């Protein structure tokens, strides 16, 4: 099979009359020829938008800019582009201007939870480290849409040093997630420097990279890049395939290089109306992913960011999809369906209900087929009372390895060693009255 299909050859030829197709696989060439205007888009795909649509599109672009790699463009089905899942992720829709009452510029409060430049510290033991403000393509469904195209730059070393200092000064951080923008927009040397600096921090156990390059610019995954990533193990990489159509010869090659390099791969999919809101599409996607050694990690409910109204589905669609996966296919092909809590509460997993009822010694459950079953609980369970004196415990937790920590949240309510009996939200009128009397 030819590496370049007809569409790719046509696009390459139009971009530059004399350009040899051999440039196609050069990621810098791809970036230099990113499509940023509607005219170029029309020209490259041989399509023409109706005049009344044009002015609305231009208006949309002035708020949310356009940028697509020639490679990702070549995946668009020009015959039926209006319904094409690649087109919908890459090309603006006037619906982006419909900003609803509950839409927010920063729904995940990433800016609020930022103690140092580039750092979002939301969970106890891990941080997001935004090391790039740029992407090789602007996904229309970007949750950081407010920032897209704003500040097209890569932070300098001094700025990144502040983030690194924060991580150095917080020994509880054992997992650093390099994010952006797309971290793989950095050149190899710069990336190598950052990875080296993070690796030097002793309490950082794992590094993760979140990148859409394998999907939208697979030629970024060069042998040289893999050699660099390999030096900084344990390093995990999560990518972002949303539709089986994105799994192409080129993206498979990129993934194969990473997997062969010993980088564990995960995938985060966003559930998008008109793109992948179908159990069969998602099932086909997760099967192709595991076939290519990528573990489906999260399925995200679309965030409440501005300009995404037309992409959102009801939560029921996600549950319906999970219902079609759990039990029906391999456990490791099933992602966790999550809502990233508006206001910054983090990811909240959602599943169909499998627990039907329970008594003091029996649980009634249903399985994926609808079979209702019972699980008899032990009569003789001897609970391990936990007073957090782990040195004397029969369960032999070796605390030199396991960090001692205070239980928080629901975990705290369940524990034996904490006396808290309830959690009360702030601004509770009943509690306020108590305090004032
Ligand atoms: C998603 C996310 C993480 C990582 O969460 P995991 O569930 O560990 O993958 C960390 N910090 C922030 C701010 C996040 O949004």
pLDDT digits (tens, 9 = 90+) for 101-111: 788 888 888 77
> 310 C-alpha vs ligand 1 centroid, how far in Å?
25
Considering only 48-62, 317-331, 382-396, which range has the smallest mean pLDDT? 382-396
DSSP 326: B
- Catalytically active residues are 122-123, 126, 135, 139, 142, 144, 303, 340, 347
pLDDT at 414 over 90: no
Q: Once rounded to an integer, what is the mean pLDDT over residues 22-38?
A: 92
Q: 344 falls in which pLDDT band (50, 70, 90)?
A: confident
Q: Which atom of ligand 1 is nearest to the CA of 120?
A: 13
Higher pLDDT, 11 or 273: 273
Report the percent of the chain where pLDDT is more than 70. Answer: 94
Decide: residue 169, CB within 10 A, 0-12 exposed, 13-18 middle, 19+ buried: exposed
By most ligand atoms within 8 Å of CB, the mutation choice from 237, 347, 350 for ligand 1 is: 347
Q: Once rounded to an integer, what is the mean pLDDT over residues 163-176?
A: 97
Cα distances (angstroms) measured from residue 111 to each of 169, 177, 322 = 20, 16, 31
**Tens-place pLDDT, residues 187-223:** 999 999 999 999 999 999 999 999 999 999 999 999 9
Q: Report whether 193 contacts 222 (CB < 8 A).
A: no
Q: Which atom of ligand 1 is nearest to the CA of 238?
A: 9
> 128 C-alpha vs ligand 1 centroid, how far in Å?
7
Angle at 129 between CA 117 and CA 293, to 5 degrees: 165
Q: What is the pLDDT of residue 400?
A: 59
pLDDT at 97 over 80: yes
How far apart (Å, rounded) are the C-alpha atoms in residues 38 and 92? 10
Buried b (16+ CB within 10 A) or exposed e, 326-356: beeeeeebbbebbbbeeebeebeeeeeeeee
Round to the nearest angstrom and report the end-to-end CA distance of the chain: 80
Ligand 1, CB cutoff 6 Å, lining residues = 120, 122-123, 126, 128, 177, 347
Report the percent of the chain where pLDDT is more than 90. Answer: 68
* CATH 3.20.20.70 domain position(s) in the chain: 119-349
Q: Ligand 1 atom 5: the closest Cα is on which residue?
A: 347
> 130 C-alpha vs ligand 1 centroid, how far in Å?
12
Q: Ligand 1 atom 6: the closest Cα is on which residue?
A: 347
Q: Is 386 helix (H, G, I), strand (E, B) or coil?
A: coil
pLDDT at 18 over 60: no
Partners of 237 in the beta sheet?
A: 209, 265
- Determine if residue 142 is labeled as part of a ligand binding site: yes
Higher pLDDT, 331 or 151: 331
pLDDT at 134 over 80: yes
Q: 437 falls in which pLDDT band (50, 70, 90)?
A: low
When the pLDDT of each residue in the chain is averaged and rounded to a whole number, the result is 91
CA 55, 57, 60, 65 torsion: positive or negative? negative
Q: 384 falls in which pLDDT band (50, 70, 90)?
A: confident
Q: What is the pLDDT of residue 74?
A: 94
CATH of domain 119-349: 3.20.20.70
DSSP 7: H
Q: What is the pLDDT of residue 2?
A: 46
Q: Which atom of ligand 1 is nearest to the CA of 108?
A: 15
Tell whether omega for the bond before 283 is within 30 degrees of 0, i.e. cis.
Answer: no
Q: Is 358 helix (H, G, I), strand (E, B) or coil?
A: strand
**Tens-place pLDDT, residues 55-72:** 999 999 999 999 999 999
> 391 C-alpha vs ligand 1 centroid, how far in Å?
32
Alpha helices, DSSP H, located in 83-187: 85-90, 157-168
Q: Once rounded to an integer, what is the mean pLDDT over residues 302-310?
A: 93
pLDDT at 386 over 70: yes
Q: Which of 29-43, 101-115, 260-274 has the highest mean pLDDT?
A: 260-274
Q: 392 falls in which pLDDT band (50, 70, 90)?
A: confident
Q: Ligand 1 atom 8: the closest Cα is on which residue?
A: 126
Q: Report whether 400 contacts 394 (CB < 8 A).
A: no
How far apart (Å, rounded) are the C-alpha atoms in residues 180 and 317? 29
Buried b (16+ CB within 10 A) or exposed e, 30-67: bbebbbeebebbeebbeeeeeeeeeebbeebbeebebb
Q: 298 falls in which pLDDT band (50, 70, 90)?
A: very high
Q: What is the pLDDT of residue 20?
A: 57
pLDDT at 436 over 80: no
Q: Closest Cα to residue 63, out of 142, 117, 136?
A: 142
Residue whose pair of structure tokens reads 């950081």 in the numeric block: 144
Q: Which of 48-52, 321-325, 385-389 has the highest mean pLDDT?
A: 321-325
Count of CB atoms within 10 A of residue 234's CB? Answer: 11
């Amino acid at each position: 099979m030819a590496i370049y299909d007809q569409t790719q050859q046509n696009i390459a030829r139009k971009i530059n009359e004399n350009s040899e197709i051999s440039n196609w696989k050069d990621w810098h060439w791809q970036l230099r020829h990113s499509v940023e205007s509607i005219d170029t888009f029309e020209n490259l795909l041989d399509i023409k938008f109706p005049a009344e649509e044009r002015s609305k599109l231009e208006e949309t672009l002035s708020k949310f800019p356009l940028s697509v790699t020639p490679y990702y463009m070549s995946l668009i089905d020009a015959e039926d582009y209006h319904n094409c899942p690649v087109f919908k992720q890459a090309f603006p829709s006037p619906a982006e201007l419909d900003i609803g009452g509950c839409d927010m510029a920063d729904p995940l409060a990433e800016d609020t939870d930022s103690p140092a430049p580039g750092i979002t510290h939301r969970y106890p033991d891990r941080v997001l480290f935004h090391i790039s403000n740029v992407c090789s393509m602007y996904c229309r469904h970007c949750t950081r849409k407010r920032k897209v195209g704003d500040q097209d730059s890569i932070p300098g070393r001094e700025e990144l040093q502040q983030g690194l200092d924060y991580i150095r000064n917080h020994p509880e951080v054992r997992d650093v997630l390099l994010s952006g923008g797309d971290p793989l927009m950095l050149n190899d040397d710069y990336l190598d420097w950052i990875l080296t600096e993070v690796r030097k921090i002793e309490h950082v156990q794992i590094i993760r990279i979140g990148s859409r390059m394998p999907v939208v610019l697979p030629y970024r995954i060069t042998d040289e890049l893999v050699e660099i990533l390999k030096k900084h193990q344990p390093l995990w990489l999560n990518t972002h395939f949303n539709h089986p159509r994105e799994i192409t010869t080129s993206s498979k090659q990129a993934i194969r290089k990473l997997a062969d390099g010993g980088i564990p791969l995960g995938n985060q999919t966003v559930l998008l109306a008109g793109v992948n809101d179908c159990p069969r599409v998602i099932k086909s996607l997760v099967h192709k992913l595991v076939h290519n050694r990528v573990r489906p990690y999260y399925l995200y409910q679309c965030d409440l960011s501005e300009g995404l109204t037309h992409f959102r589905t009801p939560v029921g669609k996600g549950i319906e999809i999970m219902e079609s996966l759990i039990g029906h296919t391999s456990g490791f092909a099933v992602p966790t369906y999550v809502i990233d809590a508006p206001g910054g509460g983090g990811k909240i997993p959602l599943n169909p209900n499998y627990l039907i009822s329970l008594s003091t010694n029996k649980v009634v459950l249903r399985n994926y087929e609808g079979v209702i079953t019972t699980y008899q609980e032990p009569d003789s369970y001897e609970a391990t009372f936990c007073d957090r004196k782990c040195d004397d415990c029969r369960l032999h937790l070796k605390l030199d390895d396991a960090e001692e920590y205070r239980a928080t949240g629901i975990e705290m309510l369940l524990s034996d060693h904490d006396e808290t009996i309830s959690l009360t939200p702030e601004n509770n009128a009943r509690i306020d009255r108590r305090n004032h009397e």
